[in-house]
A and B are shown apart, each in its own frame.
Chain A
Amino acid sequence: NAGVMQNPRHLVRRRGQEARLRCSPMKGHSHVYWYRQLPEEGLKFMVYLQKENIIDESGMPKERFSAEFPKEGPSILRIQQVVRGDSAAYFCASSPRGRQDTSNQPQHFGDGTRLSIL
């Protein structure tokens, strides 16, 4: 499967625990985007990363949330001390190019991670 791979598909955490969401982009893609989808809503941009660099994290909460895309391995979205309001679907997307891209490149999405906080 050469698509965007996210795991786990479902993640359950208790309040105060940490959640780690993983994303492997499509082969040949070096740009990763994380989005959050609350129930009955569209997606909201969180963060854009290239290998080893955070390009734009303007959509990510300042506290408890962090993201990385190391030279080797998947991109990780990390949520510390989770609260009930963090319950959502978290989608990762990738594209071959980023800022210098023209508009017509679709972002290819993974199947998402559904995070539930007990």
Chain B
Amino acid sequence: AQKITQTQPGMFVQEKEAVTLDCTYDTSDQSYGLFWYKQPSSGEMIFLIYQGSYDEQNATEGRYSLNFQKARKSANLVISASQLGDSAMYFCAMREGGNYQLIWGAGTKLIIKP
């Protein structure tokens, strides 16, 4: 079974609009962490935001926020006021309990239109 599911292979969004990238996860652990990474066309992997399973508030980092719905096991990334430079692949990843390895979704390709 897929541990991390990103149902949107690709998205087109108008510049300056907000965009939500979906991520659902599957784990039986009570303690886990959820991460979002951005991979531009140049290929590097850039950490964006983290949400812990015990965090009561949704994480925010600048224009990035995480809509964490624990009961639904979803951790959607919201990008406000999108910019052309936001065009990239976006990956959701999870670390379970005391594990160290990250489990990755297949990614969503986001294209911002001018």
Contacts of A31 in B (CB 8 A): 100
A41 CA / B4 CA spacing, docked (Å): 12
Cβ–Cβ contact B102 & A43, under 8 A: yes
Interface string of B44-78 (1 = CB under 8 A from A): 11110010110000000000000000000000000
A16-24, A62-70, A72-80, A98-106: which lies at the interface: A98-106
Cβ–Cβ contact B91 & A109, under 8 A: no
Asked if B28 is an interface residue, CB under 8 A from chain A, the answer is no
Answer whether A42 and B105 are a contact pair too, CB < 8 Å, given A100-B98, A106-B50.
yes
Q: How many chain B residues have a CB neighbour from A under 8 Å?
A: 30
Contacts of B101 in A (CB 8 A): 33, 45, 48, 56, 59
Cβ–Cβ contact B100 & A48, under 8 A: yes
Contacts of A44 in B (CB 8 A): 104
Contact of A104 among B4, B44, B52, B100 (CB under 8 A): B52
Contact of A108 among B4, B42, B47, B107 (CB under 8 A): B47
Asked if A86 is an interface residue, CB under 8 A from chain B, the answer is no
Cβ–Cβ contact B91 & A43, under 8 A: yes
Cβ–Cβ contact A101 & B100, under 8 A: yes
Cβ–Cβ contact B44 & A111, under 8 A: yes
Minimum CB–CB distance for A77 against chain B, Å: 15
Interface string of B87-114 (1 = CB under 8 A from A): 0000101011111111111110000000
Contact of A114 among B33, B43, B107 (CB under 8 A): B43
By Cβ-Cβ distance, the 8 closest A-B pairs, closest first, are: A103-B33, A42-B104, A109-B45, A45-B101, A111-B44, A106-B47, A43-B104, A103-B95
Chain B positions within 8 Å of A, measured between CB atoms, are 4, 31-33, 35, 37, 42-47, 50, 52-53, 91, 93, 95-107
Q: Besides the contacts A103-B53, A106-B47, what 12 more A-B pairs have beta carbons closer than 8 Å?
A: A33-B102, A44-B104, A45-B101, A55-B100, A59-B101, A89-B43, A93-B102, A95-B100, A100-B98, A107-B47, A109-B44, A111-B42
